[in-house]
Amino acid sequence: MSASVLDEIVELRNTIEKHNYQYYVMDDPVVPDSEYDRLMQRLVKLESEYPQYLVPESPSQRVGASPLDAFIQVSHEIPMLSLDNAFSEEDFTAFDKRLREMVNVPSIEYCCEPKLDGIAVSLLYQEGVLVRAATRGDGRVGEDITLNVRTIKSVPLKLIGEDVPEKLEVRGEIYMPKKSFKELNARALAQDEKPFANPRNAAAGSLRQLNPKITATRNLEMCAYSVGVVEGALPDNQHAAMHSLNRWGFRINAEMQVCDGVAACMAYFNSLLSKRDQLPYEIDGIVYKANSFTLQRQAGFVSRAPRWAIAFKFPAQEEITELLGVDFQVGRTGAITPVARLKPVFVGGVTVSNATLHNMDEITRIGLMNGDSVVVRRAGDVIPQVVSVVLARRPDNAKAITPPLTCPVCDSAIEKQEGEAVARCSGGLFCPAQRKEAIRHFASRKALDIEGLGEKLISVLVDEGLIGGIGDLFSLTVNQLALLERMGEKSAQNLVNAIQSAKKTTLEKFVYALGIREVGEATARALVAHFGTLEAISSASYEDLIEVSDVGPVVAGHIKMFFEQPHNLETVAALLKNGIYWPDTTRHDTVKSLQGNTYVLTGTLVTMTRDEAKERLIGKGAKVSGSVSTKTTAVFAGEAAGSKLAKAESLGVPILDEEALIKILA
């Protein structure tokens, strides 16, 4: 009887471990969570009924341990080294040259992978079972963090496979994926706790817990990057060894690649640098290791780093600088945004001297004061942000930041809606700042695209009283413009030409250019597709507007309000009087062309989104329905179409492909 219980326990463990491996190591789960939970519950039940069969490497034993009083120190049998750094192609080329000369080969093959921004860990396995996990410490002596590390699901408690070495020490990085970091900080903020500054600190803080139950809630991951002590067989190069580790149960980096020579390594560097922000974890560079273990042994070590590997660092994404002051800027819709003026600092590959602070609540959240030293972050193309204050460096004369009581530009009252973080100037187009922004938007590339009409010039034109708003742009003359400072006759003429040629546009661009709150390009396109003419859009009721896909109650309210305000109607009239036009899109013929037809769209379209197709069909007078019935004229089926296609077939409704759709819409 009990023999069969043991059989069941062993089988459950094996199955759960297989699922763990697929989920946490291969990112490729094979069963739904419910199935996994059911297996785990059964295992826990059997182990509590038959405690004699309980073993520490059971997958049920990841979270159970009680808190420690302190971490115990452990010595590393082989020291855990660090890496030398390269910061430029020259550094890397010099490293490669030194190594080639040392081992006397013409070209070196490197095993390349991202440098993960986390905490180094050493995992010791005896006969395939995890017996100890330790931090790097000073490289010789670290701390025993076994109980915490056991809670990390991508750390195998027991290795899989016939060829697992007797004794195996695996080294790697423990890190917190970006998503888990965001969720952890959101939870911290919701409970009025201090958030972590970055995923690395969060990972370190989560590992340094004396209570493993806390670590268990933190969603850490482990990725293997090298082997320490090994008693048993291992392939003779880094890349193959890593794939053995992967088979035995470890997560390895999916970006890992072998590159031969400097040029290939540089191409790898650049490709990862451009992918950096899309990766689900933070990286701070690339680690290059000579792939051949023979070559590694030949090259050896210097003091604390191997001669056969190097970390080529990416430009830092965070730096410390001083806050010189805070400006309050007024945007197109009156939103007042505090902007940090910073002592210029090189971060994320560019010099940054301004960073957005979003709103006053954000200033309060960070606890920012004038004169503070701050951490500035610029990641990828995202606008620079002030992340936190370095309190230890706060000067005695640091001053509180006070928000303006009235609009800093036009002195109008400031409004703040209940529940909204944004404060707004109530001046509307009376406010020069809002007017300037409205003109800038109108002239921008995706709107009327007036070349040469940039921010500075707009500012001068408004300040000099040459234009009051977008309605006045088209009456500007060469003579008026030529009088402006730093504006010759020629550039004045060019600008007037650019303004005149911008008169011919499309209705979509015109609607977008008006700068109606929350009406971006996509919404403008949807409005035109739905209504067809400017008159129809401007006279649409709230009920008509929310019929449009892409338009919700808030946006419908903004559109309605825009066309109710007399000064907006005057501006639109002035623009049309000045000769703005778009090729005739009166859709009388075409509207009729699909009138009375009802279509259903299903599957994925290649040349347009389903929403776009829907709008365009409606624009031609058709109805688009979500379900197939005998009244359906035809179903347009894209790729991977499902049940609607089957229904159409069963009802004998015609099924057309994307090509037919394009023809009908042409």
The CA dihedral of 633, 636, 642, 643, to the nearest 10 degrees, is: -10
Cα–Cα distances in angstroms (integers) from residue 126 to residues 61, 170, 227, 248, in the given order: 18, 11, 14, 13
The rounded distance, in Å, linking the Cα atoms of 330 and 482 is 29
Choice between 206 and 549, CB closer to ligand IVH: 206
**Least distance to ligand IVH from the beta carbon of 80, Å?**
7
**Least distance to ligand IVH from the beta carbon of 284, Å?**
8
**Least distance to ligand IVH from the beta carbon of 276, Å?**
14
Choice between 54 and 311, CB closer to ligand IVH: 311
Choice between 305 and 498, CB closer to ligand IVH: 305
Does 309 participate in binding ligand IVH (rule CB under 6 A)?
yes
Q: Please select the residue that binds ligand IVH; options are 287, 502, 551, 655, rule is CB under 6 A.
A: 287
Which uninterrupted H or E stretch holds 302?
A: strand 301-302
The CA dihedral of 512, 517, 522, 528, to the nearest 10 degrees, is: -60
**Least distance to ligand IVH from the beta carbon of 108, Å?**
16
Choice between 242 and 431, CB closer to ligand IVH: 242
Which among 149, 156, 194 is positioned nearest to 175, based on CA atoms? 149
Sequential DSSP letters for 171-222: EEEEE--HHHHHHHHHHHHHTTPPPPSSHHHHHHHHHT-S-HHHHHTS--EE
**Least distance to ligand IVH from the beta carbon of 615, Å?**
48
Strands (E), 307-378: 309-313, 318-330, 335-347, 350-356, 373-377
Beta strands 73-75 and 221-231, pairing class? unpaired
The rounded distance, in Å, linking the Cα atoms of 103 and 296 is 9
DSSP 23: I
Is the CB of residue 582 less than 8 Å from the CB of residue 505? yes
Does 120 participate in binding ligand IVH (rule CB under 6 A)?
yes
Residue identified by tokens 């002590």 is: 229
SS3 at position 537: helix
Looking at 97, 115, 289, 663, which residue is catalytic? Answer: 115
Q: Please select the residue that binds ligand IVH; options are 59, 128, 165, 306, rule is CB under 6 A.
A: 306
Q: Please select the residue that binds ligand IVH; options are 15, 82, 298, 373, rule is CB under 6 A.
A: 82
**Whose CB is nearest to ligand IVH?**
120
- Neighbouring CB atoms inside 10 A of 97's CB total 11
Choice between 203 and 551, CB closer to ligand IVH: 203
**Least distance to ligand IVH from the beta carbon of 201, Å?**
15
SS3 at position 454: coil
Choice between 139 and 235, CB closer to ligand IVH: 139
The rounded distance, in Å, linking the Cα atoms of 400 and 517 is 33
**Least distance to ligand IVH from the beta carbon of 81, Å?**
5
**Least distance to ligand IVH from the beta carbon of 115, Å?**
4
Of 306-314, 341-349, 510-518, 633-641, the segment contacting ligand IVH by CB under 6 A is: 306-314
Binding-site size, ligand IVH (CB under 6 A): 15
Choice between 18 and 304, CB closer to ligand IVH: 304
The rounded distance, in Å, linking the Cα atoms of 68 and 615 is 63
Does the annotation mark 289 as catalytic? Answer: no
The b/e string for 461-489 (b: 16+ C-beta within 10 A; e otherwise) is: bbeeebbebbbbbbebebebbbeeeebee
**Least distance to ligand IVH from the beta carbon of 83, Å?**
4
Of 79-87, 446-454, 464-472, 621-629, the segment contacting ligand IVH by CB under 6 A is: 79-87
Does 113 participate in binding ligand IVH (rule CB under 6 A)?
yes
Of 111-119, 421-429, 523-531, 581-589, the segment contacting ligand IVH by CB under 6 A is: 111-119
Choice between 113 and 508, CB closer to ligand IVH: 113
Radius of gyration of the chain (CA): 32
Of 87-95, 304-312, 480-488, 509-517, the segment contacting ligand IVH by CB under 6 A is: 304-312
Of 76-84, 243-251, 472-480, 579-587, the segment contacting ligand IVH by CB under 6 A is: 76-84
- Neighbouring CB atoms inside 10 A of 491's CB total 16
Q: Per residue, what are the HEC states of 546-606?
A: HCCCCCCHHHHHHHHHHCCCHHHHHHHHHHHHCCCECCCCCCHHHHHHCCCCEEEEECECC
Does 59 participate in binding ligand IVH (rule CB under 6 A)?
no
- Residues of this chain, 121-140, that bind ligand IVH according to CB under 6 A: 136
**Least distance to ligand IVH from the beta carbon of 429, Å?**
54
Does 83 participate in binding ligand IVH (rule CB under 6 A)?
yes
Which among 419, 574, 428, 583 is positioned nearest to 515, based on CA atoms? 428
Could you tell me how far CA 530 lies from the centroid of its own chain? 32
Choice between 308 and 512, CB closer to ligand IVH: 308
Does 173 participate in binding ligand IVH (rule CB under 6 A)?
yes
Q: Please select the residue that binds ligand IVH; options are 311, 466, 478, 522, rule is CB under 6 A.
A: 311
Does 226 participate in binding ligand IVH (rule CB under 6 A)?
yes
Choice between 301 and 542, CB closer to ligand IVH: 301
Q: Please select the residue that binds ligand IVH; options are 43, 65, 74, 81, rule is CB under 6 A.
A: 81
Amino acid at 372: D
> Could you give phi then psi for residue 226, rounded to 5 degrees?
-160, 175
Which among 266, 234, 228, 258 is positioned nearest to 248, based on CA atoms? 234
User: How many Cα atoms within 13 Å fall on the side-chain side of residue 36?
Assistant: 16
3-state helix, strand, coil in the chain (%, to 5): 40, 20, 35
Does 116 participate in binding ligand IVH (rule CB under 6 A)?
yes
**Least distance to ligand IVH from the beta carbon of 616, Å?**
49
Q: Please select the residue that binds ligand IVH; options are 110, 181, 196, 225, rule is CB under 6 A.
A: 225
Does 145 participate in binding ligand IVH (rule CB under 6 A)?
no
Instruction: Name the residues annotated as catalytic.
Output: 115
- What residues make contact with ligand IVH under the rule CB under 6 A? 81-83, 113, 115-116, 120, 136, 173, 225-226, 287, 306, 309, 311
